[in-house]
A and B are shown apart, each in its own frame.
Chain A
Amino acid sequence: GNSVTQMEGPVTLSEEAFLTINCTYTATGYPSLFWYVQYPGEGLQLLLKATKADDKGSNKGFEATYRKETTSFHLEKGSVQVSDSAVYFCALTGGYQKVTFGTGTKLQVIP
């Protein structure tokens, strides 16, 4: 079945640092890939998505590129802010299987 592996956290960065959270996947066919974000005390919300190979999803300064050759969808941001502190989940859909989530990576940004 489908699966998602993402780097373990927590990740602690200083404000304005560069962020990378790694995500790799296993899936049959051509899945769609997502990043969700969970701010403290809230539910998950979609951050960005990509639906085919080489697509780049972007939102709020975050970017991720769908790399089929490496089965990866790494999340990046050039300059993080304190307000980006949250838990980030990589996910995929496809093959008529349930939405599959990674375990989540907690990001803490310190001033």
Chain B
Amino acid sequence: DSGVTQTPKHLITATGQRVTLRCSPRSGDLSVYWYQQSLDQGLQFLIQYYNGEERAKGNILERFSAQQFPDLHSELNLSSLELGDSALYFCASSVGTGERNTEAFFGQGTRLTVV
């Protein structure tokens, strides 16, 4: 158990809909990262938050947004969903912002299926 909790584990929704994925980081971790992993593809970095503020942005679509709340949990909002958004979405957390020795701890992921 990594200590990172993601909910829900599975989500099936229709095209055009909006969903929210939730992540609770490990106790004490201030950074939260979101990644998308499609079938047969690597890990695509979406966005990072550190202590409530956006820290780094990757290949995140405009239809997607995220935030980190004062209690440090994070939510990833996906809207106007398309079939191609079907993927595994991972959350990871770390103590710092990318200093040396910063180990990332991953949740089990949310599998999103858009039909």
Q: Are A43 and B33 in contact (CB under 8 A)?
A: no
Q: Are B103 and A34 in contact (CB under 8 A)?
A: yes
A89 within 8 A of B: yes
Interface of chain A, main secondary structure: strand
A101 within 8 A of B: yes
Measured in the bound complex, the distance between the Cα atoms of B35 and A96 in whole Å is 19
Q: How large is the interface on A (under 10, 10 to 19, 20 to 34, 35 or more residues)?
A: 20 to 34
Q: Are A94 and B100 in contact (CB under 8 A)?
A: yes
Which of A13-21, A44-52, A77-85 participates in binding chain B? A44-52
Q: Are A45 and B106 in contact (CB under 8 A)?
A: yes
What residues of chain B lie closer than 8 Å to A30, measured between beta carbons?
100
A69 within 8 A of B: no
Which of B12-20, B68-76, B78-86, B90-98 participates in binding chain A? B90-98
Q: How large is the interface on B (under 10, 10 to 19, 20 to 34, 35 or more residues)?
A: 20 to 34
Q: Are B45 and A98 in contact (CB under 8 A)?
A: yes
Measured in the bound complex, the distance between the Cα atoms of B41 and A32 in whole Å is 25
Interface of chain B, main secondary structure: loop
Question: How many A-B Cβ pairs are below 8 Å?
Answer: 70
Q: Are B106 and A99 in contact (CB under 8 A)?
A: no
What residues of chain A lie closer than 8 Å to B106, measured between beta carbons?
36, 43-45
What residues of chain B lie closer than 8 Å to A34, measured between beta carbons?
103
Chain A 44-75 residues near chain B, CB threshold 8 A? 44-46, 49, 51
Q: Mark A73-111, 1 if CB is under 8 A from B, else 0.
A: 000000000000000010101111111011110000000
Q: Mark B35-67, 1 if CB is under 8 A from A, else 0.
A: 100000111010010000001100000000000
Q: Are A93 and B42 in contact (CB under 8 A)?
A: no
Measured in the bound complex, the distance between the Cα atoms of B27 and A33 in whole Å is 24
Measured in the bound complex, the distance between the Cα atoms of B42 and A36 in whole Å is 13
Q: Are B42 and A44 in contact (CB under 8 A)?
A: no
Nearest-CB distance from A102 to chain B (Å)?
7
Given A43-B2, A43-B90, A43-B107, answer yes or no on A96-B101 (Cβ-Cβ < 8 Å): no
Binding site for A on B (CB under 8 A): 2, 4, 33, 35, 41-43, 45, 48, 55-56, 90, 92, 94, 97-109
